[in-house]
Amino acid sequence: MESAESAYQLFAGKSELHLSIMTHRIIEAMATLQETLDTLSADAELVQPREEGAVRCLACGHRCLVRPGRRGVCRVRFNRDGKLRMPWGYVAGLQADPIEKKPFYHFLPGATALTFGMLGCDFHCGFCQNWVSSQALRDPATDRMGLTIHRASPEEITDSAVRSRSDVVVSSYNEPLITAEWAAAIFRPARERGFKTGIVSNGNATPEVLAYLRPHLDGMKIDLKAMRKRTYSTLGGVLQHTLDTIQAARRAGLWVEVVTLLIPGLNDDSAELWDAARFLAGVSADIPWHVTAYHPDYQYDAARPTSAADLTRAAEIGQEAGLRYVYAGNLPGMVKELEDTLCPKCRHPVVRRRGYTILEYRLGEGGKCPDCGEILAGIWRKPDGVDGNARFPRSLDL
């Protein structure tokens, strides 16, 4: 999951509703975080009524049967008097990010992505790099880290995208599928005002949530965390759900990029990487595959940090499996041309990068290679004024 980079502290001293877990200062009626978030909720649309007041949640692959007074696996969708409630009307993170941070490399390179997030997740990955937001309602350790939430409307968030001169509006930082109705409510006015939209997801989707989001969505970055069922089970997920989501998102016409956080000793076995690369190539050789470097974080410190050599080996496997666009991330300047987009036909660099910085953009209209005429897969538009300029995430106020 993409790191929010202290997004949980964006609005200190400025929000209408400021809840600080670190100091245990409770602003509204001595509410707990859970109680506060429950007030920031609305009736869910991704739901099926069941017997005796129970409801079946359709937002993620867990398909929780939620009885009155109970919660789903994500902890943020809950049954109140026979109706499923879901998060609404707040953000826990708001930033103007380089779109490469998602990472999207073939979706408007050089663009600024207005990125918003809420709290909660349907997985419990021990290596999560954004665990303060994702595990806020599950792990008491988040109490010591500090959280800030801010009331917001879809229109205010869209206005913030305009002010920050963003090109794309993205739901990230926590798991967007469990807050899909809120994301759709933001994407509707954003698209009406000319923005592209995207989500950064673990891929634990249902056909229902994909169909619900599709009219409002352009791109989807999906984590493929491993290719072993047992690994997914320890994370709280099901491998097949993610594989199905990658296939379904491509069939639906979404732009899809896939990320595998390469963790030595957990998912970096060559045979497992071959399985991942062959699967992706079987869906489409045009899917960009990002293999990214792990660093010890949260509860998982059993592995050493990923090296440039590890990333290079994984990327070479992806290329040998037939994927046209394979990237190595999180180690800028250490992986040579694996940060760059190369034309799959002539192999000349057409977009050169270092970290979030676009060093050179050479593609013509529609993603045309200037050297051989090959059309590269993606959503392309020549960026204005970014060549060689360092780009960093920027915290935003509403």
DSSP codes, 276-329: HHHHHHHH-TTS-EEEEE---BTTB-SSPPPPHHHHHHHHHHHHHTT-S-EEEE
Could you state, in order of their start, the residue ranges of all structural domains in the chain? Answer: 91-340
Work out the number of other CB atoms within 10 angstroms of the CB of residue 302: 12
Two tokens, residue 342:
């190369």
Q: What is the mean pLDDT of residues 213-222?
A: 98
Q: What is the mean pLDDT of residues 186-195?
A: 98
Residue 21 has pLDDT above 60, yes or no: no
Q: What is the chain's Cα-based Rg?
A: 20
Coil vs helix vs strand at 34: helix
Please tell me the distance from the alpha carbon of residue 194 to that of residue 189, in angstroms, as a whole number. 9
pLDDT of residue 143: 64
Q: What is the mean pLDDT of residues 195-215?
A: 98
Q: What is the mean pLDDT of residues 248-253?
A: 98
Place of tokens 């990068």: 353
Please tell me the distance from the alpha carbon of residue 308 to that of residue 333, in angstroms, as a whole number. 10
Is 3.40.50.720 the CATH number for 91-340? no
Backbone angles phi, psi at 34, to 5 degrees: -60, -45
Tens of pLDDT, residue by residue over 292-320, are 999 887 888 889 999 999 999 999 999 99
pLDDT of residue 145: 60
Residue 6 has pLDDT above 60, yes or no: no
The whole-model pTM stands at: 0.90
pLDDT of residue 344: 98
Q: What is the mean pLDDT of residues 109-131?
A: 92
Q: What is the mean pLDDT of residues 83-110?
A: 97
Dihedral sign from CA coordinates of 225, 229, 230, 232? positive
Tens of pLDDT, residue by residue over 337-371, are 999 999 999 999 999 999 999 999 999 999 999 99
Return the closest-CA partner of residue 4 out of 81, 70, 95: 95
- Relative to beta strand 168-171, strand 196-201 is parallel
Tens of pLDDT, residue by residue over 29-67, are 224 888 889 999 999 999 999 999 999 999 999 999 999
Question: Is the bond preceding 109 in cis, omega lying within 30 degrees of 0?
Answer: no
